[in-house]
C-alpha cells in the first residue's frame, strides 16, 4: 500500500494505482475527457492534470502512478486555471452547436464546460470540417472531434479492425479513416463501438427517424415494427427508468403511441433462427462437416462484415440462416402480409436494434415472389427509439405494458438471451439437444457457455450428448475473434460450433445502445436478459407456439424449400471491401 495526501486528505491505496484511481478512492472525482480505462490512458486532453507539491509542472493523473508521501492537489488555483484554459482551447476547435447535436445533454465536453463555468472562450473559433458520405450508417463530424483518440484505440484494441488513425502531423494532426481511405471503401464492420466510446458528438449513427415518421404518416403504408431483445435491457437508462420496470411491454406501448400499426418482438424470430440454425448445425455436424473447421453463427452483421473482409475464405463456414432481424422482415412481408391482406410493397418494416451494423445489413434487395424489396426497410438504434419517444413527447411514466400483436406474439427465454454473449449458443444447444434426443435437457444444462464482456479471449464448453461430444466456443469482441480464428487456423484449437458477437458483451453492449461515458453497461444488461430468461414461462425455442404455428401454416418445417427461400441467405450475394493484412 502507498500512503499519500490528496486535497489534504490522507489515503492509502494499492501500489501501482494511478493518481486518478487514488483520488476516486478518496471520493474525489477528477475531471477527464480522453481517459478510457485500459484502452486510452494517454494523457492527451490534459484535463485530468493535478498539482504535485514540489513540482513545477502539472501531471496527468490518469496515467501516472502514486508515490509514497506524495502530496497531490486536484483543485488548486493553478490546476483550476490550467484546466479551464485547456478546455477553452478544446472548445476553440469544437463545433459547439450543442442544440443540434445528437449528444446534447450527454456530452462530456458539454458537462465539463458547464462544471468549469466557462461562459466565454477567449480564442478565435477554428473549425476543420471534412466531407463525409451521409448515406453511410456511421456518420462522423470532423469539426466536433476533440482528438481524444478513443475511437482509434477502441477500434485497434477491442476490435482489431483499425478503421481510424491519426492523420497529418503538427498542428494539422487529426483523426480520419486509416490508410487514406473513404469510410465506404473501408472494411469498417459498423460495430459502432467508436460511437459509444466517443465523449462528444463527433461520431453517431445515421439518423433514420424521419424515414420512420414518414412511413407512419403515409396512409397507404402499413408500418410493422420489431424490437430486438437487447433493446429492453438498455432503453430505460435514458429515461431513468429502473431496469425491472423498463419492459418490452412499455416499448410496445410507446411504439403504438408513436403510431406504428403492428408491434412485434424480435425474440420470436430469434426462436425461429434457432429452429433453422439449430437444425442446420445438427445436419452439418452429423455429416462431419465441422470436423476440420466449425460452423459459425450468422446473426451478427458486424461479424459477417468482419469475416467477409478479413477472412473471406471462411464465409462458407457461416450458417446460412439470416439474422433474426432479417428473418422477421421476411416473415412480415410474406406470411404476415398475406394474413392481414396487405401487399408487401405497401408494408414498411422497421426494426429497433442495439446495433449500427443492422442498418447496413438491411440494405440487401431480396425477392418475395414477384415483389422485390428489403426484408427490413428502416433500422433504428435504441438511441433513435428513445429520441422518437421524446419527439412524440411521451411521458415514460405513463407507459403501460401492452402485448405484441398476433400472430407472432410469443417469444421464449431462449430468444431473449440472443442479446447477450453466449445466449445464441445456449439457446441453440437447448434445442439441438431436443433435436437429437427428442426430449428437453435440463434448462440450465448449458450454463457453461454463459459468457460476459469481461471473459478473457473466449469461452469454450464441451457437451456430451450420448456418445457424441459437441465442442462449442463463444467469443465477443473482434480482437478476441481474430485471435480465435488464428488459433483455429493454426490448429491450436478445434470446435464444432462457434458463436461470435462483434460487440463486447454481445448486443447488450452494441454500438446502437444508449451511451453513458466512462461506464461499460453490457454486463449489467446481460444480467437483466438472463433474469428475463429465468422468469420466462417458455425457455425452449422449439416450444414457441407462434413459431410452431408459422411452420404449420406456412414454412412447413425447418430447412424446407420455403424456409430456404425466405429464412436463409447467400453471404456472397454482396461485396465487402477486402483488406490485405
Partner 1 sequence: MSRLEIPVPDKAQTVVEQLYKDLERRIEASPLGLCPIDMTKAFLELCHAQTCGKCVPCRVGLRQLKNMISDVLNGRATMETLDEMKETAVSIMETADCAIGYEAANMVYKGLVGFYDEYVAHIELGRCNCTYKQPVPCVSLCPAGVDIPGYIALVLEGRYQDAIRLIRKDNPFPTTCGFICEHPCEARCRRNMVDDAVNIRGLKRMAADLAGKVAPPACQPSTGKKVAIVGGGPGGLSAAYYLQLMGHQVVVYEMLPKLGGMLRYGIPNYRLPKDRLDDDINAILETGVQVKHGLRIGIDITINELREQYDAVLITIGASTDKKLGIDGEDANGVISAVKFLLDVGKDAAIDLKGQEVCVVGGGNVSMDAVRTAVRLGAKKVSIVYRRRVADMTALHDEIEGAIAEGVEVQTLKAPVRIETEDGNVKGLWVQPQMISEIKGGRASVKSTGEPEVLLPCTTVIVAIGQDIESKHFADAGVPVNRGVIQTGRHGGFDLLPGVFAGGDCATGPATVIKAIGAAKVIAANIDEYLGFHHIIQSDVEVPQPNLADRNPCGRVNMTEREACERICDFDGVELPMTEAECKQEASRCLRCDHFGYGVFKGGRKTLW
303: cell is 461479424
| Lookup result for grid cell 480505462 | 37
DSSP string of 224-251? EEEE-HHHHTTHHHHHT--TTT--HHHH
Stretches 171-179, 207-215, 270-278, 570-578: which one binds partner 1 (CB under 8 A)?
A: 171-179
Q: DSSP letter at 18?
A: B
Phi/psi for 409 (5° steps) reads -80, -25
Task: Select 175 or 348, whichever has its Cβ closest to partner 1.
Answer: 175
Cα 266 to Cα 506: distance, rounded to the nearest angstrom: 16
- Span from 163-171, 286-294, 502-510, 570-578 in contact with partner 1 (CB under 8 A): 163-171
Does position 45 interact with partner 1 (CB under 8 A)? The reply is no
Least separation in angstroms between residue 47's CB and partner 1 is: 16
- Interface with partner 1, residue 57, by CB under 8 A: yes
3-state secondary structure at position 406? coil
The least CB distance from residue 178 to partner 1, in Å, is: 10
DSSP 200: S
Nearer to partner 1, 168 or 403 (CB): 168
The answer to whether the beta carbons of residues 431 and 540 sit under 8 Å apart is yes
User: Between residues 89 and 445, which has the closer beta carbon with respect to partner 1?
Assistant: 89
| Contact region with partner 1 (CB under 8 A), list: 50-58, 192-200, 373-381, 499-507 | 50-58
Q: According to the binding rule CB under 8 A, does residue 44 interact with partner 1?
A: yes
Question: Binding to partner 1 by residue 219, rule CB under 8 A?
Answer: no
Q: How far is the CB of 336 from partner 1 (least distance, A)?
A: 48
What is the C-alpha to C-alpha distance for residues 180 and 183, in angstroms, rounded to an integer?
9
Window 440-479: residues binding partner 1 (CB under 8 A): none
CB of 165 to partner 1, least distance (A): 7
Question: Binding segment for partner 1 among 6-14, 119-127, 167-175, 297-305 (CB under 8 A)?
Answer: 167-175
Which of residues 169, 288, 464, 491 is near partner 1 by CB under 8 A? 169
Residue 285 contacts partner 1 per CB under 8 A: no
Count of residues in contact with partner 1, rule CB under 8 A: 25
The string of DSSP letters for 356-386 reads SHHHHHTT--EEETTEEE-S-SEEEEHHHHH
Using CB under 8 A as the binding rule, whether residue 167 contacts partner 1 is answered as yes
Whether 199 contacts 517, CB under 8 Å: yes
Left, alpha or beta for 344 (phi > 0: left; psi -120 to 50: alpha)?
alpha
- Is the CB of 57 or the CB of 105 nearer to partner 1? 57
Centre a 10 Å sphere on the Cβ of residue 317 and count the other Cβ atoms it contains. 21
Work out how close the CB of 202 gets to partner 1 at its nearest, in angstroms, rounded to a whole number.
17
**149 interacts with partner 1 by CB under 8 A:** yes
Query: Taking the complex as a whole, how short is the minimal distance between the CB of residue 492 and partner 1, in angstroms?
Result: 11
Bond prior to 407 in cis (omega within 30° of 0):
yes
Q: Spell out, one character per residue from 4 to 23, where the chain touches partner 1: x when CB under 8 A holds, - when not.
A: --------------------
The only residue of 122, 170, 242, 438 in contact with partner 1, by rule CB under 8 A: 170
Which part of the chain contacts partner 1 (CB under 8 A), choosing from 24-32, 51-59, 295-303, 460-468?
Answer: 51-59
Measured CA distances, 420 to 231, 251, 318 (Å): 11, 19, 19
DSSP state of 457: S
Query: Nearer to partner 1 by C-beta: 39 or 116?
Result: 39
3-state secondary structure of 530: helix
- Does 53 contact partner 1 by CB under 8 A? no
Nearest to 189 by CA among 296, 297, 318, 306: 306
Between CA 333 and CA 432 the distance in angstroms is: 28
545 touches partner 1 by CB under 8 A: no
Cβ neighbours around 436 below 10 Å, total: 16
According to CB under 8 A, which one of 14, 125, 166, 437 is a site residue for partner 1?
166
For 270, how many CA atoms within 13 A lie in the half-sphere containing its CB? 31
Does position 184 interact with partner 1 (CB under 8 A)? The reply is no
Contact by Cβ (8 Å): 377, 325: no
Nearer to partner 1, 27 or 168 (CB): 168
In the complex, the smallest distance separating the C-beta of residue 41 from partner 1, rounded to whole angstroms, is: 7
Of 41, 283, 460, 524, the one binding partner 1 (CB under 8 A) is 41
- Taking alpha carbons only, the member of 428, 451, 175, 186 closest to residue 305 is 186
Q: Which residue in 6, 21, 43, 281 binds partner 1 (CB under 8 A)?
A: 43
Question: In terms of Cα–Cα distance, which of 452, 459, 412, 439 is closest to 273?
Answer: 412
Nine-digit cell string for 481: 475473434
Site residues, partner 1 (CB under 8 A) = 41-44, 52, 55-57, 59, 63-65, 67, 149, 165-173, 176, 180
Amino acid at each position: 500500500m502507498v500512503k499519500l495526501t490528496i486535497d489534504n486528505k490522507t489515503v492509502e491505496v494499492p501500489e501501482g494505482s494511478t493518481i486518478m484511481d487514488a483520488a476516486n478512492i478518496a471520493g474525489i472525482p477528477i475531471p477527464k475527457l480522453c481517459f478510457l480505462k485500459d484502452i486510452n490512458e494517454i494523457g492527451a486532453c490534459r484535463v485530468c492534470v493535478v498539482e504535485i507539491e514540489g513540482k513545477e509542472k502539472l501531471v496527468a493523473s490518469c496515467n501516472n502512478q502514486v508515490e509514497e508521501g506524495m502530496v497531490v492537489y486536484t483543485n488548486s488555483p493553478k490546476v483550476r486555471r490550467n484546466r479551464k484554459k485547456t478546455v477553452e482551447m478544446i472548445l476553440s476547435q469544437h463545433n459547439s452547436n450543442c442544440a443540434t447535436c445528437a449528444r446534447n445533454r450527454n456530452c462530456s465536453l458539454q458537462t465539463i464546460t458547464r462544471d468549469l463555468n466557462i461562459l466565454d472562450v477567449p480564442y478565435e473559433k477554428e473549425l476543420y470540417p471534412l466531407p463525409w458520405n451521409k448515406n453511410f450508417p456511421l456518420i462522423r463530424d470532423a469539426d466536433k472531434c476533440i482528438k481524444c483518440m478513443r475511437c482509434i484505440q477502441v477500434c485497434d484494441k477491442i476490435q482489431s479492425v483499425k478503421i481510424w488513425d491519426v492523420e497529418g502531423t503538427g498542428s494539422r494532426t487529426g483523426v480520419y479513416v486509416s490508410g487514406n481511405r473513404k469510410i465506404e471503401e473501408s472494411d469498417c464492420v459498423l460495430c459502432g463501438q467508436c460511437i459509444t466510446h466517443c465523449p462528444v458528438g463527433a461520431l453517431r449513427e445515421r439518423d433514420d427517424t424521419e424515414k420512420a415518421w414518414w412511413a407512419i404518416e403515409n396512409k397507404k403504408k402499413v408500418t410493422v415494427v420489431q424490437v430486438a431483445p437487447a433493446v429492453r435491457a438498455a432503453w430505460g437508462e435514458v429515461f431513468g427508468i429502473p431496469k425491472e420496470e423498463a419492459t418490452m411491454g412499455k416499448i410496445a406501448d410507446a411504439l403504438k403511441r408513436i403510431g406504428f400499426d403492428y408491434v412485434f418482438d424480435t425474440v420470436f424470430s430469434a426462436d425461429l433462427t434457432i429452429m433453422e440454425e439449430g437444425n442446420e448445425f445438427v445436419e452439418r455436424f452429423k455429416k462431419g462437416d465441422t470436423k476440420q473447421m466449425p460452423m459459425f453463427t450468422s446473426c451478427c452483421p458486424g461479424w459477417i462484415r468482419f469475416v467477409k473482409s478479413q477472412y473471406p475464405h471462411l464465409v462458407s463456414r457461416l450458417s446460412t440462416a439470416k439474422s433474426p432481424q432479417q428473418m422477421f422482415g421476411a416473415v412480415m412481408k410474406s406470411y404476415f402480409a398475406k394474413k392481414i391482406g396487405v401487399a408487401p410493397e405497401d408494408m414498411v418494416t422497421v426494426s429497433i436494434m442495439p446495433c449500427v451494423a443492422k442498418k447496413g445489413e438491411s440494405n440487401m434487395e431480396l425477392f418475395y415472389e414477384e415483389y422485390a424489396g428489403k426484408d427490413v426497410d428502416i433500422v433504428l438504434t435504441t438511441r433513435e427509439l428513445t429520441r422518437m419517444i421524446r419527439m412524440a413527447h411521451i411521458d415514460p411514466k405513463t407507459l403501460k405494458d401492452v402485448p405484441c400483436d398476433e400472430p407472432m406474439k410469443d417469444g421464449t427465454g431462449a430468444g431473449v438471451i440472443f442479446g447477450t454473449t453466449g445466449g445464441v449458443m445456449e439457446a441453440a444447444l437447448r434445442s439441438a439437444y431436443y433435436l437429437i434426443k427428442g426430449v428437453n435437457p435440463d434448462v440450465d444444462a448449458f450454463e457453461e457457455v454463459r459468457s460476459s464482456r469481461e471473459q478473457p479471449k473466449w469461452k469454450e464448453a464441451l457437451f456430451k450428448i450420448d456418445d457424441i461430444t459437441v465442442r462449442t466456443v463463444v467469443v465477443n469482441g473482434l480482437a478476441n475473434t481474430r485471435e480465435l480464428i488464428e488459433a483455429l487456423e493454426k490448429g491450436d484449437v478445434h470446435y464444432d460450433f462457434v458463436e461470435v458477437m462483434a460487440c463486447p458483451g454481445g448486443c447488450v453492449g452494441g454500438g446502437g445502445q444508449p451511451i453513458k461515458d466512462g461506464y461499460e453497461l453490457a454486463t449489467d444488461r446481460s444480467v437483466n436478459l438472463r433474469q428475463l430468461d429465468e422468469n420466462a414461462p417458455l425457455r425452449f425455442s422449439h416450444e414457441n407456439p407462434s413459431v410452431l404455428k408459422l411452420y404449420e401454416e406456412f414454412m412447413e418445417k425447418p430447412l424446407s424449400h420455403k424456409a430456404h427461400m425466405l429464412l436463409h441467405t447467400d453471404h456472397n450475394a454482396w461485396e465487402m471491401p477486402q483488406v490485405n493484412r
